[in-house]
Every structure is written in structure tokens, then in C-alpha cells.
Structure 1
Amino acid sequence: MTIHDNNIRGVIFDLDGTLVSSELDFSLIKAQVGCPLDNDLLAYIASLPSPYMREEAMNIVHQHELIDAQHAHLLPGVAEAITRLKENNIPMAIVTRNYDRAAAIKLKNNPLPIETVLTRSDAPAKPDPSALNAIATLWELDQSELLYVGDYLFDIQAAHNANMRACLYAPDEIPEYANQADYVMHHFSELPTLVDSFQENKVLC
């Protein structure tokens, strides 16, 4: 009896735009800190030449994130999907580029049965795979057995950098980078079915 290579034994989620809503205006934030529109905001701030400049820029980002956190709400189908996965004993975690205080507010106001939450305060931000790899180690599972669910290119890249499968959550328009994901999900109700499909045949005789 062998275990099928493709089974999904754990699911990791992005937070903003995946589990909860986010109204962050990145164009405005980038303008306020002087970051070119095409640059990654966090990478730009990290490249600023002095600690003072980096701190001032990050304070601006924090203010936006904290305001956004107060208004966040669970996205459609999330609570039901998470409940289904928990009932099926699928371990779950969250890895977000948000910072710890903002993420904590969002999850306090929108409680989910997910205990493991890593933010950019805990590990390098996505697409760096460090946080995803840490969770695989915590769960004592191989990365190939884990699925990462997110709504942006960095989520796909982080998953693949960690040798995990990437599920893109795209409820509205399908972005041009969707073809880089292993799966594309339009509604959260599809997630338990996707995970279940790998459980049914995971034990082969």
C-alpha cells in the first residue's frame, strides 16, 4: 500500500483578498512613500538608504494597514470552506505580507479556526518561501503535500518557490498570470471539493 504523490494533506492561505476583504490603495501608498508604481512596495522600502527613511515609510504603510484592518470582513464562502476542511482534519495556516498588528485585528474581528499565522513580522515577505517552508516543518509534512491559496502573483511564486502547489483565488477577472497557478478557484465553495478529490484516491493498493 503506497501513498499517492498528489494528495493534499495541508492548506495554507493568504489573508488579504483571499480570506478577508482589503481596500488598501497601493497606488496611494506608493505615492506617499515615493515608490515607483511598478516596484514592489516592501522591497522598495527595504532599499531606502537610511534607517530613518525606512522607518518613516513603514509607518505610513502601517497606518494604512491598521485603518484597512478595521473594516475587513470575511469573503463569500470562506467560513463554510474552512469549516469543511477542519471537519476533514486538514491542518490550516495563514501566511500574509501584512504586518502582525493589522493581521491580528482582522482575525480578531473575523475569527477562523486557524491558529498558525505568519506575517512579514515573522519571516521574509512573499514571494520568499521561508514562511511556507516553516509551516511544512511545523506540520512535519513534505512541501509537495501542501497547497497554498492566494489571490496574487506573489502567492503563486511563493508556493512554487517552496515546491508547493499554488491555487489562485480569482473571483472576478482572471489575471494574465493565472496560467502560472496549478489551480484557479472562482469561489471558495470549490476548495473543499478540490482537496477532497485528492483524499479519495490517495491510498492505492
Structure 2
Amino acid sequence: MKTDNTVWHDQQVTKQQRAELKKQKPCLLWYTGLSGSGKSTVANAVDALLFERTCHSYLLDGDNVRHGLNGDLGFSDEARVENIRRISEVAKLFLDAGVIVSTAFISPFASDRAMAKAKLEQGEFIEVFIDTPIEVCEQRDPKGLYKKARAGEIKDFTGIDSTYDVPESPQIHVKTAEQSIEACAQQIVNYLIERQFISS
């Protein structure tokens, strides 16, 4: 629970100075899509391309974060909201350090994605919609989750018995069923170059 006895401490080294040192503009690539859509795979490919360009980036993967920081959360609607709130705050700290951050979460609720966006400065939040038909996601089913959800072994599974709010106007729209992972990753890097988050 938040206390009234904490005051934000301004640091001597500014966000702008850290970004200038890294020769990039910090931003948050917020990957959203159904389970099995390819969020983590594409995000990893983008992170690798950024690394090759000597960019300073970090990927916060949904499963990895739930192993530690959010290990106490389940998958109810309330827990999903708290999951996104926490990761939004962590991502904001990374941006303050001048880093390009990627988050790969289903993040099914538009209101939660809007909350994450509202925490950042104008233009820093980049919604990346990994748009893959649920039929394709079920065929892939890399973790066997759809099979378990269809069998009733998993409750509140997005796309089956829990809602997914499709992004209405994402900054980047990626279709992994129609393009290779390499092409999808390059599409995102091209966006960053065109908007001058990174140099060409």
C-alpha cells in the first residue's frame, strides 16, 4: 500500500543525458497479442537486431517476469491488471535510464495498455499488435495451453474464456501468419529508424 511518507528523489544525471550517452531515444515497444501469436519470438528477434546495432535495449518477457517480480500473481482479471501495472512501472524506470524497452505480454485489456501509455512521455509508448488468428495460435500452441484451456484445465484463458481487446490503432501492426519472423522484426526496427529513436 502506498504511503504518504515517500517523496520522489530527483537524480543528478537526467534521463536526457543518459539517452544522449547511448545515442538513442528511449521508448517502450509494447507487444500485445494472443498466446502463441509470436510476441516473444518477434520481440527477441528485434532485441537481437538492436544489439547488432549497438543499441541499449532490454526485453521484459511475460513468463520471465512472472518467475520473479510477479510470481505472486495469478491470471484472474484483477491479477492481470496488477501484472501490467507493475511491469509498466519497471519499464518506466528502464526508460529513465535511456534504454529501449520491449514488453511481451498478452495484456488483453485496452484499459491496461492505456494505463501503461499514460505513465510515459508523449510518443514513448509504441503499441505493437502481433495480429495472429486464434486458429493459427492454436495450431502452434507451443506450451500446450490452448489444449489445456479447451479441456477445461486452465480457466480465464485469453481468447477462450477471457476477453482480448484488439488494439484499435496500434503504432505497429505485425502479422506473423503472413510474414517471416525476420521480416516482422525488420518492420519494427524500420519504424524505430524512421521515427529517429535509433540512427540508420
- TM-score range normalised by the length of the shorter chain: 0.3 to 0.5
TM-score by length of 2: 0.42
Q: Which structure ranks higher in relative contact order (CA pairs < 8 Å, sequence separation ≥ 6)?
A: 2
TM-score by length of 1: 0.42
